[in-house]
Amino acid sequence: MRASLILLRAPGLALLTLGLLVGSISPLAFAQGASSPEEASSHQQGSSHQQGSSHQPDSSHQPDSSHSVAVRGEIVYPVAGPAIVDGVVIVTDGKITAIGTSEEISIPADMKVLQAAVVTPGLVDAHTVVGLAGYLNTHHDQDQLERSEALQPELRALDAYDARAPLVDWVRSFGVTTLHTGHGPGAVVSGQTLVAKTRGETVEQSVFVPAAMVAATLGDAAKGPDQKPPGTRSKVVALLRQAFLEAQAYSTKQKHAPEDKRPGRNLRHEAMLQILAGERPLLITAHRHQDIASALRLQEEFGFRLVLDGAADAHLLLPEIKGAGVPVLLHPSLARPSGERENLSMTTAAKLHEAGIAFAFQSGYESYVPKTRVVLFEAAVAAAYGLGFEAALEAVTLSPARILGVDGRIGSLEIGKDGDLALYDGDPFEYTSHCVGVVIEGEVVSESPR
Amino acid sequence: MARPWLRNPYLRLLSLLSITLFLSPTGHGGAQEAGESPTLAFVGARLLTMDGPEIDNGVLLVREGRILRVGAAGTVEVPAEAQVYDFSGQVILPGLVDTHSHIGGGGGGDSSAPIQPGVRVLDSINVRDSDLRRARAGGITTVNVMPGSGHLISGQTVYLKLRQGTTIENLLIRDAEGRPTGGLKMANGTNSRKDPPFPGTRGKSAALVREAYIAAQEYQDKVRRYADDPAKLPARDLGLEALGEVLDGKRMVHHHTHRHDDILTVLRLQKEFGFRVVLHHLSEGWKVAEDIAAAGVPCSIIVVDSPGGKLEAREAGFETGAILERAGVSVAFHTDDLITDSRFFLRSAALAVRAGMSRDGALRALTREPAAMLDLGERLGSLAAGKDADFVVLSGDPLSVYTKVLQTWIEGDKVFDRAVPEDALIADGGLGAGNPSSATLHDGCLAEEVVR
């Protein structure tokens, strides 16, 4: 019990777990050349474990190099299709290679088998600051917000993500395998976000979308600290419009000005241009209905890809959001109803679902305690407040994968997708159930119940 | 008791109408003469009495705000004239008791000094705050409202029943002498460490507390010695009087403490001065569970979704309740609202069960145990004859995420009803629900209560 309370990584324990996989080592996995960046990432992961084992010369355990495992569930929720009673998922070299009932699928004799009451895709936290905001409320542990300037889209999450942050392990222990994390709300444009798996010891091992979105904020939270501008909602929007226009002018000059008069590279303008070019969405955190409306207005003016974030008042603007075709990363169900979020409702998820608006759950940003919420619980509460089990599960797996543009790789249990799975000993949303196993790309990263 | 909310002319009219109906010859007769309250019978529900085994199909009789009888259907006769409420298929639990809450926006001492035992939180609470309505929506019937943890001693706490009412007097729980009940809030660790005159170290923190209690001992001594000598009798000192009540065991210390060594420091001071104490929060309580058990000190813990925030909470987890329970410590939960939401108080118990606490222990930790920690065990915490008729009606198992609080009753009055739209708005959220003053905009159950 005490050991389970130690949150810091214990490589020895991880190796012990890996040691259980001794029988299934496939030397071929390392011999194969990486044919895609994704594969390269997963192979890096494998080699890091090899290095790790050299620190334990007396260990007879070998690292898991196969990244292959069979997962059997009394009920398996692929999310992409109907639930499978007595289902089996086979993960080979990190990818799902078979899924079906235990009668349809034969498990290779030498393959490690995990078993649980309920198996789901690994959970996807649609928006968090874990890895940038550490678990201590001290300056040195908080990298999600740089307040020196109002707009800094050039700040890369990649340059700040701490893959070893204790909170990464914490959320993973509940079944979260993918995080969309990065710069948080609190400045007009605070910086970029990334998408990472909740494993790996370096940012390169963890991250698979290095620049996912650019985070912006409208409303009170975007106002400057200590009387610094912007001081009003209108000014916040004016600054954003100005930034887009300046980026466009920069682009025009770069393209059309004589070579000696072309401006030097400007990272800020480049980042705004990438948004305008549709390379990545602008994630706008807006809670009040008038701020949500402003976000939609900006999107209409500049034509960028918009993802609404937070959106406490979304239930007041369902037709407008639906009409704009904009997805919503909904505030945590358990967020406190105060300030700009005073109108939030635990039934909003159900209303978005009913309206046919794409949405996903997030753990959000917490300034005090808890230092992070757990997206599993946010989905659970919404499930209980009208959304229902299957829609809630989708909104914490496939739906965020789609909104993040990574549904080709994660979010559901389908052949060819990453072998990311979460195992539970009962209804995953019940408070008293436990996450009893987490698999990322075929690697069993956690087997201690939580 | 006066009903100040009847100042609202509309409600007053409704109330007069209902009284007129009540007295009319065609109204209820028999035992329900004016001035005598009817017997209420709650039937059909599974009763988790916290006073013996669960009763599958129970009968709960209530009269004059107290529980008259509790038992299985067939063993308790429902009087013919009783108002019957059928809760078949539902679950009734004693009203939840929250040992540590900050609802109502109250505060204690200011920034002038680290030790301010003379300050009372009851002088600062906004009982119209929507916080209180959310607490009722969570099934909470009794709270210990605390001043903050930014002082070694931040002031006197107050125990409240979350009755419908528009003044703090309507909500107070009074002792036999008619005085408001409450404890004393103390804290150690990092929250109370600041620039002077606040302490800068843990050692200084303990030294200041010792000085304060020694001053209180000397004050008490002088008051007793010179009781008949006005010339030598010390001037009244409200702070030292409050500390004296603590030394006499009349006022419970509610002590914020996180790190294992800070917890042991509280136990050390408790031993030196002999006060009665409840330990609160206890992020690292699991490290010193045996020491706490040996000291016989009860613990009220918080369950938050992740560890950290501050260094002393970095090893907090869901397991604290289970470990303390196994060590034999009396355990309660608290919301620390606004840290956790009062509407989800049951969830704290459920997450502790997830981490190994017994189901029965976790439910007692929401009811019986906290009632005892507020010295209200005689009146609250279980469904038993003679106790206050404070209870919560649930749609299902108290530990399930899918369960909703349907109704909350205090002393025989319904204070929350999910079937009333204004109350459902508070329970679920929505336009206007989080506005601090929404209690004055929507009277919800209150309006229904008066009409009834």
What is the tens place of the pLDDT at every residue in A251-272? 999 999 999 999 999 999 999 9
Confidence band, pLDDT 50/70/90 cuts, at residue B437: low
Task: Look at residues B245, B324, B238 and name the one whose alpha carbon lies nearest to residue B287.
Answer: B324
User: What are the backbone angles phi and psi of residue A215, rounded to the nearest 5°?
Assistant: -95, 125
Confidence band, pLDDT 50/70/90 cuts, at residue B37: confident
pLDDT score of A320: 98
Sign of CA dihedral B215, B218, B224, B229: negative
Distances (CA, A) of B358 to A336, A365, B362, B363: 29, 32, 6, 9
CB nearest B434 (choices: A1, A343, A368): A343
What is the tens place of the pLDDT at every residue in B165-216? 999 999 999 999 999 999 999 999 999 999 999 999 999 999 999 999 999 9
Residue whose token pair is 């701020």 = A291
pLDDT score of B12: 41
Is the per-residue pLDDT at B36 higher than 80? no
The pair of structure tokens assigned to A422 is 């979460």
pLDDT score of A29: 30
Neighbour count for residue A391 (Cβ, 10 Å): 19
How many whole angstroms separate alpha carbon B213 and alpha carbon A21?
61
| Beta strands A189-197 and A207-209, pairing class | antiparallel
The pair of structure tokens assigned to B119 is 């300050």
- What is the residue-averaged pLDDT of chain A? 88
Q: Where are the alpha helices (DSSP H) in B226-358?
A: 238-247, 260-273, 289-295, 320-327, 345-354
First to last CA, chain B: 18
Confidence band, pLDDT 50/70/90 cuts, at residue A48: very low
pLDDT score of A8: 34
Task: Look at residues B107, B110, B43 and name the one whose alpha carbon lies nearest to residue B78.
Answer: B43
How many whole angstroms separate alpha carbon A309 and alpha carbon A290?
14
Pair B363, B139: CB distance under 8 Å: no
Chain A residue with the nearest C-alpha to that of B351: A431
Question: Average pLDDT for residues B226-249, to the nearest whole number?
Answer: 97
The pair of structure tokens assigned to B153 is 């001693």
Of chain A, the percentage scoring pLDDT greater than 90 comes to: 83
- What is the residue-averaged pLDDT of chain B? 91
Pair A24, A68: CB distance under 8 Å: yes
Question: Average pLDDT for residues B217-231, to the nearest whole number?
Answer: 96
For residue B286, which residues of chain A lie inside 8 Å, CB to CB?
1-2, 5
Q: Verify whether the Cβ–Cβ distance B434 to A341 is below 8 Å.
A: yes
How many whole angstroms separate alpha carbon A274 and alpha carbon A304?
9
Confidence band, pLDDT 50/70/90 cuts, at residue B323: very high
For residue A167, which residues of chain B lie inside 8 Å, CB to CB?
306, 308
What is the tens place of the pLDDT at every residue in B249-293? 999 999 999 999 999 999 999 999 999 999 999 999 999 999 999
Pair B415, B164: CB distance under 8 Å: yes
Is the per-residue pLDDT at B6 higher than 80? no
CB nearest A7 (choices: B307, B339, B344): B307
Task: Look at residues B162, B137, B15 and name the one whose alpha carbon lies nearest to residue B5.
Answer: B15
The pair of structure tokens assigned to A207 is 């991250």
Pair B44, B86: CB distance under 8 Å: yes
- Residue B102, class by beta-carbon neighbours within 10 Å (0-12 exposed, 13-18 middle, 19+ buried)? buried
Q: Verify whether the Cβ–Cβ distance A135 to B430 is below 8 Å.
A: no
Q: Verify whether the Cβ–Cβ distance A372 to B432 is below 8 Å.
A: no
What is the tens place of the pLDDT at every residue in B111-122? 999 999 999 999
Q: Verify whether the Cβ–Cβ distance B401 to A431 is below 8 Å.
A: yes
Close Cβ partners of A184 (under 8 Å, ≥ 6 residues apart): A129, A132, A133, A144, A145, A190, A215, A365
User: What are the backbone angles phi and psi of residue A112, rounded to the nearest 5°?
Assistant: -65, 140
Close Cβ partners of A237 (under 8 Å, ≥ 6 residues apart): A218, A294, A298
Confidence band, pLDDT 50/70/90 cuts, at residue B18: very low
Q: Which residues of B touch A (CB under 8 A)?
A: 286, 304-311, 313-315, 317-319, 322-323, 338-339, 341, 344, 347, 350-351, 353-356, 399-404, 428-435
Chain A residue with the nearest C-alpha to that of B395: A384
Pair B352, B322: CB distance under 8 Å: yes
CB nearest A342 (choices: B341, B355, B435): B435
Q: Verify whether the Cβ–Cβ distance B350 to A433 is below 8 Å.
A: no
Question: Average pLDDT for residues A96-116, to the nearest whole number?
Answer: 97
For residue B322, which residues of chain A lie inside 8 Å, CB to CB?
1
Is the per-residue pLDDT at A12 higher than 60? no
Task: Look at residues A236, A234, A263 and name the one whose alpha carbon lies nearest to residue A249.
Answer: A263
What is the tens place of the pLDDT at every residue in A185-223? 999 999 999 999 999 999 999 999 999 999 999 999 999
Question: Average pLDDT for residues B11-17, to the nearest whole number?
Answer: 42
Task: Look at residues A148, A179, A176 and name the one whose alpha carbon lies nearest to residue A163.
Answer: A179
H or E, element range at B299: strand B299-301
